Structure 1
């Protein structure tokens, strides 16, 4: 949408969804253009529609993910303003069924 000059219209469309779920923020680092576009998405939904974001990284590491501490800080500010932040501790649910049994090598 950005390269076609239709980013504003696309952001309006995405704002119409009551909930947008974005899984694994930070799993792959964003280049500068992607970071700016993601910031625009977060900003366009701010105080208009809900988002659920998952990440295995603390907010302190988001500057590394987005390559820019200023963008990361501004995004985090918008995300947490009306958020319930849930931090999960403990073993991975995905690895729960893959626990080594006694006597097996890892």
Structure 2
């Protein structure tokens, strides 16, 4: 907490795992309040996993509970047009995007990964596998 504001960072896979565990324990509504509480919720790595319909519904509930109340940052390597595939349901994806984009600026960062830049400067190409290592 800084300057009286709270933030919570979680990856999408950890968010889904958490919501599924809380649902199994019968305390999902309480957990939704937890995710609705911070001034800023950051959901990282959106796009690395395809959600089931149940997971997409849970994600929609989290986003809807924050709509008009708290800010959300989502990081993704996907385009908005991939939302239906990611969420396994175009209607749910549209509902989520509608709420996320309602008052939101969109920052689209293009170019090389900043993680690779140092490796490239050092002469290492991260796309080339090392034949001396087991790359499984």
Are residues 1:18 and 2:36 paired?
no
Highest RCO, 1 vs 2 (Cα 8 Å, sep ≥ 6): 1
TM-score by structure 2 length? 0.70
Higher strand content, 1 or 2: 2
Give the whole-Å Cα distance in 2 for the aligned partners of 1:12 and 1:23. 19
| Selected match of 1:61 from 77, 82, 97 | 82
TM-score by structure 1 length? 0.88
Structure 1 unaligned spans of 5+: none
* Correspondences of 1:63-78 after superposition (within 5 Å): 63-78=84-99
Are residues 1:101 and 2:123 paired?
yes
Are residues 1:81 and 2:94 paired?
no
Q: C-alpha displacement at 1:68, in angstroms?
A: 0.5
Q: C-alpha displacement at 1:101, in angstroms?
A: 2.9
Structure 2 unaligned spans of 5+: 1-21, 129-136
Q: C-alpha displacement at 1:4, in angstroms?
A: 2.6
Give the whole-Å Cα distance in 2 for the aligned partners of 1:13 and 1:23. 17
Give the whole-Å Cα distance in 2 for the aligned partners of 1:78 and 1:2. 24
SS of alignment partner, residue 22 of structure 1: strand
| Selected match of 1:5 from 12, 21, 26 | 26
